A and B are shown apart, each in its own frame.
Chain A
């Protein structure tokens, strides 16, 4: 039996803006968010970075933004917009997200690392001395993939079931599939599900080059609010399709305009293309969700 859920809210943060209709219109008109990146050590590289986003409307404490790595910063506004004016019990609202690359250090530990090195070799006494003084204490936590979900949970007061999947573009779709199942099986009255990823920092560009990836990188978060089939005001329905290693994964057409957005890519393809998606990467799992108009 195929499990289905209704999509009742959408939040998007990408290089072409934070309004889905406007993003689709810009892409249809040939617009692109891909541009030269101003990153030291990656001169000449292009990508599709996001301006902002502005987190203030959704932060319970302004200083919490400092604890957020890039995928968390992208995810929070997308999740908040997808949640919208949902009036249900947030104790039961589920959160399922795909997060791709482990949130990057962003250079925060560079001073500490430099202070730990003597003549190109690690000096453990320096690690315990100046290196320790310079090491950002919250860095180990900031760089965990599940922190994106944690920040959404904390800032929006959501306490239901949740899970973070990591991987390539299928990670966000895997999260969607879990969200659809949680709603269809009655484990949650509603779920926020989607993906977030950021590939336009220096470390990510280096990793992409090493992995032989081509095409412009991007960053984005896309979140859908899922509720039981039959919920009034549904925008469209989603149905869980297949998942496995023997499915054909493929390119997604939005990449020319928004770059490859990693774990957000499959969900981005779904909402921008308004059609079924099967996504995956290399020899990894492919996941499918089907888009059904209401």
Chain B
């Protein structure tokens, strides 16, 4: 208990990303500054407006829904193996996943436009946002509260927040939280490029995602999954588990601005970060690292920068900031979970992964960047941001476990 409330620790993590099939391989790639972005392999994208993305190598399946289940299964396996056997009865275990609906394969859809053939019951279920949640609940035997958050790019950040609040309230003893997304298909690539949101710098795909750089021109679609096992700290210790980190704060907000853009003053982002810091009972000066949302769009990165300065005041000039989307691409509904795991590893290992391709920092993004190479420095407390289309913001505060 801390200040009368239960403390929440992370005891297991798992992720599958364009950089690696698990957390250690993804972490190694991040420290090497390796990009997971390349020409699209899954289909012939040569005629599309954008022909590169951050795919999970070798990921296949009959439809996006099936691929999402494959990804969440792998991340879950790793997280459960790391956490060890969870002794909690089903009704004391909950699940919250961030996920959006899976789109039908465009080729299949095209056939259906003509034939009016219907998808089968399983495919309809797999395409719903809640399918990964229900799948995970079944696998771990969770009978407690389960829910699915769909707030675009904030989804899995919000799922973590939900998990933390449920454990603090004593509704459950442990939560399996995370998120998954698969968006690299012709419809999404076409749709997001028509919105002007995607980078079109395809000459060298590995250099296309360049958050905070003057030459940034959009984000790169990615895919992946991240899962975290959250537990009541006291119960985790009692069963002999070793906490990786503590999740100490959570904050969220709405922008009330536009569905496509962030407000130039970054006020919603600032509100979410300030709420997380306040929830943790800390001050901005206590935060050593921010894993930024940093999408590599002109608007997001400058808006987030302003938000950091508003929330942090003087400390905004010194806090270390990086965006790992420069290497993973934008994992949309999965990014909050994957980046929370990356932040947890940064806190635990005392190394901050860099923003690669940050050759000419934009003056509008005047931050203490971890540019191009990792920075070794003990981090006691860190924030990880996730901001979504429609103006939803989430910020998770992760702290070194001090017992």
A161 CB-CB contact with B under 8 Å: yes
Q: Which residue of B lies closest to A146 (CB)?
A: B151
**Is B254 an interface residue when CB atoms closer than 8 A count as contact?**
yes
What B residues does A95 contact at CB under 8 A? 254
Assess A153 versus B391: contact at CB under 8 Å? Given A128-B47, A166-B148, A211-B121.
Answer: yes
- Pair B251/A161 contact, Cβ less than 8 Å: yes
B124 sits at the interface (CB 8 A): yes
Known contacts A151-B259, A165-B148, A167-B147; is A132 also within 8 Å of B253 by CB? no
- Interface pair A127/B118, CB less than 8 Å apart: no
Contact flags (1/0) for B129-167 with A, using CB distance below 8 Å? 110001001100011111111111010001000100100
Please tell me if A284 contacts chain B, counting CB pairs below 8 Å. Answer: yes
A230 on the B face (CB < 8 A): no
Closest to B45 in A: A124
With an 8 A cutoff between CB atoms, is B115 at the interface? yes
Give the contact stretch, choosing among A30-38, A44-52, A134-142, A268-276: A134-142
Do residues A140 and B192 form an inter-chain contact, with CB atoms below 8 A? yes
Interface membership of chain A positions 65-104, coded 1 if the CB is closer than 8 angstroms to chain B and 0 otherwise: 0010000000000000000000000110001000100100
Most buried by B among A113, A144, A149: A144
- Stretch of B100-108, B237-245, B308-316, B366-374 that contacts chain A: B100-108
The 8 Å CB contact of B115, one of A120, A128, A146, A156, is A120
Instruction: Decide if A147 is an interface residue (CB 8 Å cutoff).
Output: yes
Contact residues, A240-283 vs B (CB, 8 A): 243-246, 283
The answer to whether A147 and B390 touch across the interface, beta carbons within 8 angstroms, is: yes
Which 6 pairs show the lowest CB-CB distances between chains A and B?
A150-B390, A243-B145, A140-B191, A102-B101, A153-B254, A128-B47
Interface residues of A, Cβ cutoff 8 Å to B: 3, 41, 67, 90-91, 95, 99, 102, 110, 113-114, 116-117, 120-122, 124-125, 127-129, 131-132, 135, 137-141, 143-147, 149-151, 153-154, 156-168, 170-171, 174, 178, 181, 206-207, 209-212, 243-246, 283-285, 287
Knowing that A140-B191, A243-B145 are A-B contacts, what are 20 other residue pairs whose CB atoms are under 8 Å apart, sorted by A's residue number? A102-B150, A117-B114, A122-B107, A124-B46, A127-B190, A139-B191, A141-B390, A145-B129, A146-B392, A147-B259, A149-B254, A149-B392, A153-B254, A153-B390, A153-B391, A154-B257, A164-B150, A164-B151, A284-B130, A285-B146
